Structure 1
Amino acid sequence: MRMPASTTSDPVALHAGAQPDRVACVDLASGRRWTYRAFDEAIQRAIGVLETGYGVEQGQRVATLARNSADLLILQQAAMRLGAIFVPLNWRLASAEQQVILADCDPALLLHDAALQAALPERCVPIDVAAFTAAVEAEAPAPRRPLPADDAPSIILYTSGTSGRPKGVIVTERNAFATAVNFGVLGRVGNASIFLCDAPMFHVIGLVTNLRPPLLQGGTVLISPGFDAATTNRRLADPALGVTHYFCVPQMARMLRDHPDCAPSRWTTLTAIFTGGAPNPAAEISWWLAQGVRMADGFGMTEAGTVLCMPLDADRIAAKAGSSGLPAPTIGLRIVDDDGRDVAAGEAGEIWLSGPSITSGYWNRPEETARAFTADGWLRTGDIARRDEEGFVTLVDRRKDMFISGGENVYPVEIETVLLDHPGVAEAAVIGIADARWGEVGRAFVVVKPGCVVDPADLASHCGARIARYKVPKEFLLADALPRTASGKIQKHILRTWTAPAGGQD
């Protein structure tokens, strides 16, 4: 018997009926707060703005270029109920990079909070956040309608590809719901949970993992415009806020630790700090445990949501420090060799994933979608890991040359392409190197064309005009030649043995 298509779950609407007076969302910058009843109504009002004010229809894209705010969550939930597709852009990207993404997703509407630098597609209508907020407050709630199927595209999150071209990862409501379940189990999320969201809402951590688990359970989300070590330290210690869950990359945790106002003994309501996005040294985890704060490292992907997380038991965290933990309940995980055969415990191999949280593919990229999956549907992650006898998974390396700077994925080929566009550069290669503040930064090796003279400041300026600041290498080293194989490929493992002279660029 053929079963009907499953529809999207709508926890906000559920809790608007079940616990209408519980606080659902607080916008920390403005002080605005919504109960579940009020938040549900605001979403219905936003649907009216999208439909009557801008003619947005099912399947069309609604993009944002703005810092975190409750308005972004209201817009995303409205787009979800309407059947439109929410596309948050990284506001840190250069205007040329933003323009490429806008051309790829072709939005009908762009919500922004600063002057626009990128040219918009012909049919795209811009609206600033203040105008959107006023329009929502003035609009009557739209009538309710059946929700779209949960396997339709609901969100597109752009992540750089190894070719240098951005890829839009399709996130369905089925994917987002599975991530809410996955992290909800591993992170001990419940009705009393209160999440502080500093992570940018153009990332899967900020938009999905930080928001969906508490909303599913009827908890509360506190949305901040962004990370500030002093402010976050104060908020984690504020009993009136009562923060129970906090996500950050290890570099943010280090900034919290190094700030003079850091007082973990006052974080009395916190369940744990959850880290991911970059390697987290065991020594750092041990330091936090000694302060009475559980630091649960994990692993996730834009394409898969929450994959791994450490159990929230201090003894287990201490014994397994450096591990990314155990697979989430709906995750199928294999560690395989180059022939796709499962490796033995303790052996390194590539992580393959399956389950309802896994993306259906990339927007407008059928070839890349096909390459990402095996014939029987496993997602090839490109990440190398080992699993011990107890099932704990530890990441070893990345198959690709990507490195992570301050929680942002950086792909060397993109930077190399920009460097090769410099009139004085003949060859270029970029690798990631350790950095005390950002975890990793770029080191560029450059061969100058005969008769040309370039200096690091010139190269940094050239890159800064074309790519986001976090992608610009911290160091530029001039070389007579780059090591290559017989077939002409640059041998980056040799570059990693080359040392930098004093005076690298800041």
Structure 2
Amino acid sequence: MAEFFAPDPVLLHARLRPTGLACIDLATNRRWTYSELNADIQRATTVLSAHSVRTGDRVATVSANSVYQIILQQALTRMGAVHVPLNWRLAQPELARLLDDCEPTLLLADREPPTPPLGCGHVEFTRFCAEVDAAEPGPRLPARPSAETSVILYTSGTSGSPKGVVLTAQSMLATTVNFSILTEVDTACVFLCDGPMFHFMGLVTQVWPPLTRGGTIIVSPKFSPEATNARLGDAELGVTHYFCVPQMAEALARAPNFDPSAWLDLKALFTGGAPNPPARIRWWLDRGVRVVDGYGSTEMGTASGMPLSPDLIRLKAGSVGLAGPLTAIRVVDDRDEPVPAGALGEILVSGPSVTPGYWNNVEENLAAFTEDGWFRTGDIGRVDADGFVFLVDRRKHMFISGGENVYPAEVEAALAGHPDVQDVAVVGVPDQLWGEAGCAYVVAKHASQVTHGQLVSHCQSLIARYKIPRETVFVQSLPRTGSGKVMKHLLAEGSTARL
């Protein structure tokens, strides 16, 4: 079989539509046509070569969102080198551990970084940008094999230990195809990108689909609810696609300038990374906004997504949609045998969007895949008779109360429907009578005086009695990763410490 080479969508559109608008950087108000973006990518290959970056080398970044992050990533792909964007929110000791793991040749950082590993050069990211602007475009390089490592993204570490997920040009292209078909991406698309580019959402899902289709990417250095509301309603920008985690969507709704009637060009709010309670999806629909849930992760890319039909969104509220055209999904029992439609089991995923594995982590690679190559998501869910996927919870979050399996996400969805609950997470804690019982951590809405008893009463008609939390802890906020996932291991540790 002939080798498949890495796609180069910017080069394609520099030829198809050279004057088409490729990118806008909101921090500088600078704009790039596809011809200009292609030239800057070639300039970046010149600069990177001057810094001794070669095929297979890793280049780490600690930097805020910018179009130059896109330029860097595309340049490294052309060179057969590897982009490793790191979370700029991490403390220096945390960054140092990740740098030791990926062993970069070059570190590009906005701020003073930890001491780079031996043999790693360090350049300020702003200096790199200036060098790109001043350089001559390098020669066109031969296409690289699509199976080469192109990006390493470190997971958020909800279990406390980040892992480097390997992405290839092939896996990112497969995610692009899945996402583009499921979310109706076309050449007229305009993506607003304010999700951090050290996460899959910011670097891949918000970038590759519009680049591949020849659309426009608007890059914001960070998320700000009021600024994002204004941009979604800006007719001159004409944003068609906005992808965020549910907590970002809720922040938009709470902002003083929230006015979804002004979002005239927006096809939908596309959400992922955390559960979206059905009640909230219907709340958004009642205000004219389609909130479209999808299913994916750094490891598997975009696997599924809801159709954009408002009727289907309402009918299947709580679903993460249908499998993408390049993804196969199956639900299995504890022996990896398929279960009937509608039955609960672990979700397995297969397809070209799935990672080939974790960087420098043989043990995790062995545990992550079945013998026949399916990726173990660790998620418990079901697929209904119509093919729609419903997530119940992470397998590791399930607890057993009085002999019954309890999935916290079901309990969280019930609690989230209470009008005084702003945010909620449920964990299982040791219980002398029941073995384990639920403990709810609740962020109440401003000025609310809601009590544990009122929340119990609310849940009684919605979920089985054994699922109702035995305790409620009211908190100011929940600990979350940069991608919006609740760090439940911290809550569980806190609950156990109080016993």
Match of 1:342 in 2: 338
Q: Is the 8 A contact 1:63 1:87 kept in 2?
A: yes
Instruction: Give CA deviations for 1:301-352 in whole Å, capped at 9, x if unaligned.
Output: 1011111111000000011111111111100110100011111111110010
Q: Which amino acid aligns with 1:64?
A: T
Aligned AA for 2:4? S
1:386-418 Cα offsets, whole Å, 9 max, x none, are 1111111110010124999xxxxx9x9xxxxxx
Amino acid at match of 1:87: V
| Cα distance in 1 for residues equivalent to 2:142 and 2:93 | 39
| Residue among 51, 54, 59 paired with 1:57 | 54
Deviation digits for residues 145-179 of structure 1 (CA, Å, limit 9, x no counterpart): 11210001000011155774321100000000000
Select the residue among 4, 12, 28 that pairs with 2:10: 12
Is 2:296 aligned against 1:295?
no
Letter in 2 for 1:168: G
Partner of 1:48: 46
Matched residue, 1:149: 145
User: Is the Cα–Cα contact under 8 Å of residues 71 and 129 in structure 1 kept in the other structure?
Assistant: no
User: What is the CA-CA distance between 1:234 and the residue it aligns to?
Assistant: 0.3
**Which deviations, in whole Å up to 9, do the C-alpha atoms of 1:187-224 show, x marking residues without a partner?**
00000000000111111111111110111100010111
- 2:67 is matched with 70
Q: Which runs of 5+ in 2 are unaligned?
A: 399-407, 410-424, 428-437, 446-478
Give the alignment's TM-score, normalised by structure 2: 0.81
Maintained 8 Å contact 1:401/1:431: no
**How many residues align structurally?**
428
**TM-score scaled by length of structure 1:** 0.80
Query: Matched residues in 2 for 1:87 and 1:386: separation?
Result: 34
> For the Cα contact (< 8 Å) 1:249–1:276, is it kept in 2?
yes
- Secondary structure of the residue that 1:166 maps to in structure 2? coil
Name the amino acid aligned to 1:28.
Answer: L
- Separation in 2 of the partners of 1:398 and 1:123? 40
With over 3 angstroms needed to count, the CA separation of the structure-2 counterparts of 1:364 and 1:432, relative to structure 1, is farther
1:84 counterpart letter in structure 2: A
Tell me which amino acid in the other structure corresponds to 2:136. Answer: A
Counterpart for residue 244 of structure 1 = 240
Aligned to 1:97: 94
| 3-state DSSP of counterpart to 2:155 | strand
Corresponding residue number in structure 2 for 1:269: 265
Q: Secondary structure at the match of 1:51?
A: helix
Alignment partner, residue 494 of structure 1: none
Counterparts of 2:486 and 2:382, CA distance in 1: 30
Q: In the aligned structure 1, how far is the partner of 2:29 from the partner of 2:493?
A: 45
Say which SS state the counterpart of residue 156 (structure 1) adopts. Answer: strand
Q: What is the aligned partner in structure 1 of residue 389 from structure 2?
A: 393
Cα distance in structure 2, aligned partners of 1:58 and 1:15: 25
Structure 2: distance between partners of 1:481 and 1:34 = 55
Structure 1 residues 75 and 479: CA distance shift in structure 2, 3 A: closer
- Cα distance between partner residues in 2 of 1:390 and 1:478: 40
Is residue 114 of structure 1 aligned with residue 108 of structure 2?
A: no
Aligned to 1:36: 34
Q: What amino acid sits opposite 1:125 in the alignment?
A: G
CA positional deviation for 1:125: 1.4
- Consecutive unaligned residues in structure 1, runs of 5 or more: 405-409, 413-429, 438-462, 483-506
CA distance in 2, matches of 1:435, 1:475: 16
**Superposition deviation, residue 129 in structure 1:** 2.1
- Conservation of the 8 A alpha-carbon contact between 1:85 and 1:153: yes
Cα pair 1:169 1:303 within 8 Å, conserved: yes
Aligned CA RMSD, in angstroms, stands at 2.6
Supply the distance in 1 between the matched residues of 2:109 and 2:486 (Cα, whole angstroms): 21
2: CA distance, partners of 1:30 / 1:354: 41
Task: Give the direction of change, closer, same or farther, for the CA distance of 1:310–1:480 in structure 2 (3 Å limit).
Answer: closer
How big is each residue's C-alpha offset from its partner over 1:336-378, in whole Å with a ceiling of 9 and x where there is no partner? 0001111111111001011110100011112211211111110
Counting aligned pairs with the same residue, the percent is 51
What SS is found at the alignment partner of 2:163? Answer: strand
Q: 1:284 to 1:478 in 2, by over 3 A?
A: closer
1:210 equivalent in alignment to 2:206: yes
Q: Residues 24, 352 of structure 1: CA spacing in aligned structure 2 closer, same or farther, 3 A cutoff?
A: same
